[in-house]
Structure 1
């Protein structure tokens, strides 16, 4: 069988179109961001603020295994963000703080059945001293041996912004010593207790040499993000409905720079909060910001030039933790998200 020159041209054009289509599809699915989800307790209804109900967690797992998402180990995501290697769109990581017993008894069997990787950030004192409701080292070793990623969550789980640099370093090093003795390694990824940090805390974490550190401010981790201020979406009974979970798992980054104040441990309350948007998202009139110290809707924002956003809050934050979250509707009805968490001393 012979082909005419026209037939050969048409066949070659068809092959080229297929290759271009596949290349475009692959590029469309590539991303440099991931949503990181955070839990604490499972089925412990007496701890409403940190607990997720089992029925809620089942819904989350069903959502993550419906074929739309790629759930990867947290350490792999951190490595890819650092090297610039692309991630699949809708990449999600599962993290769990503190190492409560319900992780071992409830969450791990459910995640294992669904073949979903996850990280446990271990607060060492609770394990070491056998605090009620915590796992023990034998159970944590069992998780480690099964491939569960273990993260660093200090020794005492204290409010780090209230401690001196020397106290913070000593606390972290004490935990590291126990990790080495009990697990044979020191975790390279850190989570701030309560999500609280300031410039001084970050300086200690950087000095010790952690590869990355996660807070509890809402948002999406992306390749240009400060590795020691990576965000997570916290899930609890009151904020763990399937609607909010889908919003978090589908979130897109709102890429910003020049955030003020630069220190999350507030010296001025309320803060003069502002940031510069570093990508062209088109019309910014849909940008909305919300503050935990104000009810009744979005706070007023001032747009300066094409990309600078400034917010002046009418009231001070109460002592403890305060939050500002900013969102902008993106493609496919997915929300771009940037959040800040502040610590306010009494």
Structure 2
């Protein structure tokens, strides 16, 4: 039996898996994979969500000739859930929002190179035939060719701001629509804008999904929250091939005891700024080189390491919107370990 056949068998059983907290089976060097996130291709008017085609072609060249194994995302999710070993430098490609440039520019390249990828679809823009988005015929062609199709809700809302009833409808209705058009129900979900909460994660599991993905950086591994898995965002500003090589060579920074676990923070009061902390599992060498950074206007006032426990404190509340925290440490072999989180504060 080939390794890929084994992964596919595991993926079938994944539908019976449970839990939306930390995935099980952490090990000294856990099963891990880098998951990449793209949106648009060659759309120069959207630099924050698009990648230049020259950049993308360089990425594909690196992935096909640099000693990586690009695997279908369901196989990686199955391995993370069960602790089944993945090859070193396992990579998955994901694309959000189903823009037309995916079909017109990226798909021919990926098809020619035989690289699997996952497309996350918000169904409403496709249903409405909005200019700049793929059509159902386009998406059906990709699905028939073996591309994994996941959901990104119906209307691409800010889910932590919505009611549970609204979110439940977004999750189930989008799956119904995808099944209607493609003949298969999606099992993977990408939170719009990467915004989630423990409540939203629970609703995603309740709706029949087996994993959920954010937009925070980091290497997905067996200690990652299965319903809030990280992905490295790629765009024109951060799409240079040298940086790309660093990202696809990152290793897991396995953690436990994350606080706060809920990506949704209050606007003010207790819990904002968060008392951010985690314990590094199974890795002792190089902890002196671990550093954390964040994207908010507030400052890190204290970062304390008590053995393998890391505690970070901030001088003021996080502003409304998204704040990303990245913690990295170098290894002896020149690669980096990376753990990240995204927290969301709703508008006042």
TM-score w.r.t. length of structure 1: 0.88
Aligned partner of residue 65 in structure 1, secondary structure: helix
| 1:265-315 deviation per Cα after TM superposition (whole angstroms, max 9, x unaligned) | 11232211111111132242111100102599x8641112x1111111123
Contact 2:328 2:337 in 1 (8 A): yes
Quote the RMSD (CA, aligned, Å).
1.6
Once the two structures are superposed, the pairs formed by residues 8-157 of structure 1 within 5 Å of their partners are 32-157=31-156
In 1: Cα distance, 2:120 partner to 2:48 partner? 18
Aligned partner of residue 99 in structure 1, secondary structure: coil
**Count of aligned residue pairs for this structure pair:** 315
- Residue 281 of structure 1 is aligned with which of 280, 284, 302? 284
Is 1:329 matched up with 2:330?
yes
Structure 2: 5+ residue runs without aligned partners? 1-28
Once the two structures are superposed, the pairs formed by residues 179-190 of structure 1 within 5 Å of their partners are 179-190=178-189
Contact 2:151 2:188 in 1 (8 A): yes
| 1:100-159 deviation per Cα after TM superposition (whole angstroms, max 9, x unaligned) | 000000000011121111110011011111112110101100001111111111111000
Tell me the residue number matched to 2:303: 301
In 2: Cα distance, 1:316 partner to 1:240 partner? 31
Aligned partner of residue 301 in structure 1, secondary structure: strand
In structure 2, relative to structure 1, the CA distance for the partners of 1:91 and 1:31 (3 Å cut) is: farther
Tell me the residue number matched to 1:170: 169
Aligned partner of residue 139 in structure 1, secondary structure: helix
Structure 1 window deviating more from structure 2 (152-161 vs 215-224): it is 215-224
Contact 1:151 1:190 in 2 (8 A): yes
In 1: Cα distance, 2:264 partner to 2:298 partner? 23
Contact 1:293 1:315 in 2 (8 A): no
TM-score w.r.t. length of structure 2: 0.87
How much has 1:31 moved relative to structure 2? 6.5
Structure 1: 5+ residue runs without aligned partners? 1-29
Once the two structures are superposed, the pairs formed by residues 210-249 of structure 1 within 5 Å of their partners are 210-249=209-248
